[in-house]
Amino acid sequence: MPLFPREMQSERLRYELLHPDEFDPHELYEHVREDAPHIDDITEYVTWDPYATPKEAFDWVAECGRAFEEGEGATYVLRPRDGDRKGEFAGVAGVDVDWDHRTATFGTWLRKSFWGQGYSGERAAQMLELVFDRLDLDVVAVSHDPENENSRRAIEGYVERFGGRREGRIRNDILVDGVPRDAIRYSISKDEWEANRRA
């Protein structure tokens, strides 16, 4: 059995492993190419640029597959389970693991038409369960660009819900368009999550 699950489900979302054996990179490319709808809004605060060619999607899916096979992390495509958008590509959620520090780091992005629907918090709850129940790690960390208000609201919502905390501002922590940017970091410990998971 692999360390990470190949598929998960939460109340409204299905999580499908982003792996070259199971996912067509062309589908990813359609949503992250340079002329994809709202791509400038989606990538404004992230550390990757829109893809110029399908090869970039193939390369990244291959890298996600390698990380999965080597137990370093897992990346999932998010799809609504029900409704008129059932099965549609909503975005991507990933977890990277630092086994030496017993810490996992979350990352996610959604297509703009899926913003503001609570999917980020639902995804976080599912991934926290994965990290603490299945992987038995101690801490989850997540960060955002200081200017990204949408991410700030979403992250603060689920960090507060699960008893975590704002760690502070880390200077020059990320690169956006090749320029160093600060990041605001938050964390949730296993004990904090256990105390609040049923809330």
Residue 71 tokens read as 């137990």
Beta strand 179-189 with 139-144 is antiparallel
Residue 199: predicted pLDDT:
66
Determine the topology of domain 7-141 in CATH: Aminopeptidase (3.40.630)
Where in the chain are the domains? 7-141
Q: Model confidence at 68, in pLDDT bands (50, 70, 90)?
A: very high
Residue 77's pLDDT band, with cuts at 50, 70 and 90, is very high
Contacts 24+ apart (CB under 8 A), 112-115: 112/37, 112/38, 112/41, 112/42, 113/38, 114/90, 115/150
pLDDT tens profile 85-141? 999 999 999 999 999 999 999 999 999 999 999 999 999 999 999 999 999 999 999
